Chain A
Amino acid sequence: MEYTGAEIVCESLLQEGVEVIFGLPGGAVLPFYGALSGYPQLRHVLVRHEQAAAMAADGYARVTGKVGVCTATSGPGATNLVTGIAGAMMDSIPMVAITGQVPKPAIGRDAFQETDITGITLPITKHNMLVMEVDDIAPAIKEAFYIAQSGRPGPVLLDIPKDVLAGEKRPFVWPETLNLQGYYPPGEADEIQLNQAVELINQAERPIILAGHGVLISHAYSELRELAEKAQIPVITTLLGISSFPTDHFLHTGMPGMHGMAYASLAIDKADLLVSLGMRFDDRVTGRISDFAPNARVVHVDVDPSEFHKNVKATVPVLGDIRKVLNQMLPLVNRRTHVDWLQYIDTLRAEHPSLYIRQTDELLPQFVMKQLSDVTEGNAIIVTGVGQHQMWAAQHYAYKNPNSLITSGGLGAMGFEVPAALGAKVGSPDKVVWSIAGDGGFQMTMCDLATAVENNIDVKFAILNNGVLGMVHQWQEFFYDKDFFATVYSGNPDFVKLAEAYGIPGIRVTDKTQVEAAIRQAMDTPGPVVVDFIVKRDEQVYPMIPAGESVNEMMEEPVPERIF
């Protein structure tokens, strides 16, 4: 039997176990859509903007651990994917993006809707390919999926000209092997590195585990927990590492860095060993590098060797898949206690109650996050935008399950909250999914409420509505003489009416006493719901270590009376 290129794409996606594709059609990709309608096994979720397709694929990938797939047409469709792809690159998300391209004879002639999308996405993909022959489609797709999810995952883009999708018919041959000479995703660690790392761990008096996204990506959470418990090492999770370790565990020591808990940053400052697992010492984590963890040696475990010594010099770099490396380490690590060290950290916690929410009648955004945590018992999947609400979601929600905080960490793309939540719900239909938005970010992608409605994707949309671009407003408050230029939104729509316009319930909350009931009401209502929390406007995220500074310059919330 012979297939068109478009059919070969569909057949290949089936071979890869793809269940869902997020996308929006257009001329160049239309042959693919033509074929797709004949493949009901491949569910297509039609979005309202291609950025949502990429971000939904991202959210889907994060909750399932599978490759997220998105598609768009050439030109503007493809360029609309760009922000979503860049985010997937920064956060190491397995994604395959398929774009239609103008027909081969038109390439290079500035044809209608021609853009060089492989050129544009060169620095923001793990790999990309322009597929010029029908017979190359199946191998390209197989390669794309393998590259996207192996080693350090990332997005792969396939650009396929219209006439390759729709031209000659060819038999479908699914390749047995891949020819990726020189591409070796690391597996187990080298014995020498491993033994050196174990020795440092066994010797340490004040060790800290810094758990990053790599722990979640390699599904190493039970190994992480075993290591932490066996060697009694406090665990600090980076923003993307949150939920790799249970928040209510006695060794859980918060998040470090710019808006991390003071006690976490202070503990790192005193630590004599950092066991860094699948994290890359982002500047939001380290602040000024020269003052970061001045007393610590560093064991850096990562699957990507280019991360070693990039930002922080590793005493012992350990190359390998986190889960495999931890399994190698576990039998060699001594069972130990670090009573003094844990007590010291407890003192830090008491003296720096970073998660304390002050008593007031005003509706504080932190309070909303805390209530959401309590009502959902830490079991929801939380998908955030970027800004203050993101930091409060990182701080005040007690995550109980792996992969339950979905957030745009590396790129920090506002507007992620709505589409990524759709993807997360599609990937985890049995979980409660809350999208936590700022009124700024929400308005970047709220057009995709229609996608939720149309496909009955049951996401609860919370807006922490402060009427400002909160995080930027905060920087203006602290660092720009309170010159609140261009951060106040005075023309916001009525989000409750907006919800109603989409045919879904909207709930407005203006008072503290209504929060819990509103959350429950939203969860008791089947289907998507928008909850507009009108929160206090000039609330700042504390603690804060200003960009490029160190823990010594940390600002903590001025607490009227210390609570002990």
Chain B
Amino acid sequence: MNGNGRHHTIIALVHDRPGVLTRVAGLFRRRGFNISSLAVGNSEQEGLSRMTFVVDGDQYTVDQATRQLDKLIEVVKVANISDEEIVSRELALIKVKVTPETRGEILEMVHPFRAEIVDVGARSMVIEVTGSGDKIQALYSLLEPFGVLELMRTGRVAMVRGLSEGRVSDELVLDYHGDHLKVNEAYEVGSY
């Protein structure tokens, strides 16, 4: 399952602080990684947000992206969940032109997608659809001939099924005098 150039889904739990998004976006740009979608929102833990990235690239790229992300101080945890059993969804709002003649046809077309009409105007309506990227793409293609005025997609959000990675409950607070630190270790200059 690690062919070249596929979409990878990475999720990250990050501290909800100013500048986090800039940091993450800057990192992707600097290292030449391509984000094809990004979604951010609050997580179940206060002060932490969860991000879902869809990254294009080969295994090398996605491994580097995850490792580099993990180095950001604000990033608590990162996981590449592409090979896991996941639930993933995207939401789209599609504003499409309507006329009295096309209205019925559009409503019928939208129905099997379990999409909702969330706004109806004299000459346009807004359709809300949730699902996989493919599903959204399919509906979009059907509506295109009628004249799509606006398309707004949220980007993918994803979650591993069951108990698995991406779930972070470690309430770790580092002890400053912890094991890792060598601040007070004697520094011997001049001895090999």
The interface of chain A, by Cβ under 8 A from chain B, is 17, 63-66, 118-119, 122-123, 126-127, 130, 142, 145-147, 149-151, 175-187, 218-219, 221-222, 224-225, 245-246, 304-306, 308-310, 321, 401-403, 428
Q: Is B170 an interface position by the 8 A CB rule?
A: yes
Which A residue sits closest to B27, measured CB to CB? A123
Q: Is B30 an interface position by the 8 A CB rule?
A: yes
Using A64-B187, A185-B181 as known contacts, list a sample of 13 further A-B pairs with CB atoms less than 8 Å apart, ordered by residue number in A: A146-B181, A150-B182, A177-B173, A177-B174, A179-B173, A181-B173, A182-B13, A182-B76, A183-B73, A245-B192, A305-B70, A306-B71, A402-B189
Asked whether, in the complex, the Cβ of A304 is within 8 Å of the Cβ of B187, the reply is no
Asked whether, in the complex, the Cβ of B190 is within 8 Å of the Cβ of A401, the reply is yes
Asked whether, in the complex, the Cβ of B73 is within 8 Å of the Cβ of A180, the reply is yes
C-alpha spacing A119/B26, complex, angstroms: 10
Q: Is B180 an interface position by the 8 A CB rule?
A: yes
Residues of B with C-beta under 8 A to A126? 73
Given contacts A122-B22, A150-B180, A306-B64, contact A402 B190 (CB under 8 A): yes
Sample 10 A-B pairs with CB under 8 A, ordered by A number.
Answer: A63-B189, A118-B19, A119-B22, A178-B174, A179-B174, A181-B170, A218-B182, A219-B182, A308-B67, A402-B192
Residues of B with C-beta under 8 A to A305? 67, 70
C-alpha spacing A181/B171, complex, angstroms: 7
Residues 21-70 of B contacting A (Cβ, < 8 Å): 22-23, 26-27, 30, 60, 63-64, 67-68, 70
Residues 64-108 of B contacting A (Cβ, < 8 Å): 64, 67-68, 70-71, 73, 75-77
Residues of A with C-beta under 8 A to B182? 149-150, 218-219
Which B residue sits closest to A152, measured CB to CB? B71
Asked whether, in the complex, the Cβ of B173 is within 8 Å of the Cβ of A401, the reply is no
C-alpha spacing A122/B19, complex, angstroms: 10
C-alpha spacing A75/B2, complex, angstroms: 47
Residues of A with C-beta under 8 A to B168? 182
C-alpha spacing A175/B175, complex, angstroms: 11
C-alpha spacing A306/B63, complex, angstroms: 8
Q: Is B134 an interface position by the 8 A CB rule?
A: no
Contact with A along B157-182 (1 / 0, CB 8 A): 00000000000101111111001111
C-alpha spacing A175/B177, complex, angstroms: 12
Interface centre among B64, B67, B175 (most CB of A within 10 A): B67
Q: Is B15 an interface position by the 8 A CB rule?
A: yes
Which A residue sits closest to B67, measured CB to CB? A306
C-alpha spacing A372/B76, complex, angstroms: 50
Asked whether, in the complex, the Cβ of A221 is within 8 Å of the Cβ of B64, the reply is no
Residues of A with C-beta under 8 A to B192? 221-222, 224-225, 245-246, 402
CB distance from B2 to the nearest CB of A (A): 13
Contact with A along B101-129 (1 / 0, CB 8 A): 00000000000000000000000000000
Which B residue sits closest to A156, measured CB to CB? B73
CB distance from B147 to the nearest CB of A (A): 41
Return the 7 tightest CB-CB contacts between A and B, nearest first.
Answer: A182-B76, A306-B67, A185-B180, A127-B73, A65-B187, A401-B190, A225-B192
The interface of chain B, by Cβ under 8 A from chain A, is 13, 15, 18-19, 22-23, 26-27, 30, 60, 63-64, 67-68, 70-71, 73, 75-77, 168, 170-176, 179-183, 185, 187-192
Asked whether, in the complex, the Cβ of A304 is within 8 Å of the Cβ of B71, the reply is yes
Asked whether, in the complex, the Cβ of B176 is within 8 Å of the Cβ of A176, the reply is yes
C-alpha spacing A224/B191, complex, angstroms: 12
Given contacts A309-B63, A310-B64, contact A177 B176 (CB under 8 A): yes
Residues of A with C-beta under 8 A to B19? 118, 122, 130
Residues of A with C-beta under 8 A to B188? 219
Residues of B with C-beta under 8 A to A187? 179-180
Residues of B with C-beta under 8 A to A225? 192
CB distance from A205 to the nearest CB of B (A): 26
C-alpha spacing A187/B76, complex, angstroms: 18
Which A residue sits closest to B168, measured CB to CB? A182
Asked whether, in the complex, the Cβ of B23 is within 8 Å of the Cβ of A309, the reply is no
Which residue of B73, B171, B175, B189 is within 8 Å of A401 (Cβ)?
Answer: B189
Given contacts A149-B182, A182-B77, A306-B70, contact A221 B191 (CB under 8 A): yes
Residues of A with C-beta under 8 A to B22? 119, 122
CB distance from A330 to the nearest CB of B (A): 15
C-alpha spacing A5/B75, complex, angstroms: 28
Which B residue sits closest to A219, measured CB to CB? B187
CB distance from A298 to the nearest CB of B (A): 16
Given contacts A142-B176, A304-B71, contact A181 B189 (CB under 8 A): no
CB distance from B183 to the nearest CB of A (A): 6
CB distance from A177 to the nearest CB of B (A): 5
Interface centre among A63, A186, A218, A219 (most CB of B within 10 A): A219
Interface centre among A147, A181, A186, A222 (most CB of B within 10 A): A181
Asked whether, in the complex, the Cβ of B174 is within 8 Å of the Cβ of A183, the reply is yes
Residues of B with C-beta under 8 A to A130? 18-19
Which residue of A147, A149, A175 is within 8 Å of B183 (Cβ)?
Answer: A149
C-alpha spacing A218/B30, complex, angstroms: 28
C-alpha spacing A187/B191, complex, angstroms: 22
Residues of B with C-beta under 8 A to A151? 180
Residues of A with C-beta under 8 A to B174? 146, 177-180, 183
Residues of B with C-beta under 8 A to A119? 22
Which residue of B30, B176, B185, B187 is within 8 Å of A123 (Cβ)?
Answer: B30
CB distance from A133 to the nearest CB of B (A): 13
C-alpha spacing A304/B181, complex, angstroms: 15
